[in-house]
Amino acid sequence: MRTNNFLGRNWIDAEYDFTKEEWETLIDVALYLKRKYALNEDHSYLLKNKTLFMIFYNQSLRTRTTFTAGINQLGGFAQVLDPGKIYTPAIKGEEEAYSTERVSDVARVLSRVGDAIAIRMYGPPAQWIYGKANSYIKEFAKWADVPIINMECDKFHPTQALADMITIKEKFGNFKGKKIVMSWAYSGSVEKPISVPQSVILSATKMGMDVVLAHPKGLELDSEVLQKCKKFSKETGGSFEISNSMKNAFEDADIVYPKSWGAMNYFAQIDENGKKIKDENLKDMNKLFEANKHWICDEKKMKLIDKNGIYMHCLPADRDMEVTDAVIDGPQSVVFDEAENRLHAQKAIMAMIMGGRM
């Protein structure tokens, strides 16, 4: 299998930058590696002695464990660099003496001693300024000589999206003609990025699915992302629509993916020079959330979907807020298959951009 189209590339805005055919290749590679893992067949030669550095500005369970286990299984090593326990990487103008280190310096040092850098950053570490975390990761890419992997920023979560597409491929065999509903759901916490819903609708339209984005008014996603979804669906023969009714959206769906996300109107804002001109407004965002507590995935709503339909969630799920126990622990839930597939998705990404031929 030729991998020269992947080798050395960044996995940051992967929903934009990788083609449908490249996503299909990654899905195939992930399933191939999953089979090898299940059969206990050695594949540690793929990234033998290669090192992945992981920088987490935010907490993590699935991402941290699956990247660590994944590169170990591929023959490499993972090293976690928690900001606060190292000199925290910072951009020019946000440095603090003897506390931070310029991103340009960190990226060049890590490039000399490792083979890829993976970063997670969103929310408070980026001052709730939409797009700032994404730009931080791209600042690393500007200076690094090794691939940069986005482990979730404030715009995208492409490793999760790949795992989601792998799960759908396993459950249904194909994407064409399958209806997926990416729905907002209530949470008691408003500190939620919009990365997962944006990555799900982008990857699903890219794969040619019939995609419905459902949310209450006031919880719209990035208009650029919505335009990309329309473009992808036109190119792949799928469809894309937006609904303000969870109930209507769920009707006859093959896949439902109810998850909370924040309201962009209440995020912080900056001017053209990067100066913060408006703080985040979590108080009014909370009022919007509380007005829509009925947006919960329960047994009644699950009866609206196709009898062979499935429930998905990236986890962690806010139980009894986003979803009831009966649904997430029920027979239509595939959330733990989905979580397991994070391992194989990330192994495919690392093998292809850090490795060589298989």
Beta bridge partners of 88: 100
Mind listing the domains of the chain with CATH numbers?
A: 14-155+342-354 (3.40.50.1370), 160-339 (3.40.50.1370)
Note the helical H segments in the chain: 14-17, 20-38, 62-73, 103-113, 132-143, 158-172, 195-206, 223-236, 246-250, 282-290, 299-302, 325-328, 335-354
Residue with tokens 């550095």: 53
| Residues 298-303: contacts with CB under 8 Å, at least 24 apart | 298/323, 298/324, 298/326, 298/327, 299/324, 299/326, 299/327, 299/330, 301/246, 301/247, 301/250, 301/256, 302/250, 302/256, 302/327, 302/330, 302/332
Residues in the chain predicted with pLDDT less than 50, given as ranges, are 1-3, 358
Helix (H, G, I), strand (E, B) or coil at 337: helix
Residue 213 structure tokens: 């984005």
198 touches 257 (CB < 8 A): no
233 touches 205 (CB < 8 A): yes
Element (H, E) at 214: strand 210-214
Residue-wise burial string across 160-191, b where 16 or more C-beta atoms lie within 10 A, e elsewhere: bbbbbbbbbbebbeebeebbbbbbbbbbeebe
Helix (H, G, I), strand (E, B) or coil at 12: coil
How far is 135 from 103, CA to CA, in rounded Å? Answer: 11
- What is residue 4's predicted lDDT score, i.e. its pLDDT? 61
Residue-wise burial string across 126-158, b where 16 or more C-beta atoms lie within 10 A, e elsewhere: bebbbebbbebbbbbbebbebbbbbbbbbbbbb
Q: Which of 47, 40, 42, 38 is nearest to 7 (CA)?
A: 47
- What is residue 1's predicted lDDT score, i.e. its pLDDT? 44
CB atoms within 10 A of CB 4: 8
CB atoms within 10 A of CB 206: 27
- What is residue 356's predicted lDDT score, i.e. its pLDDT? 54
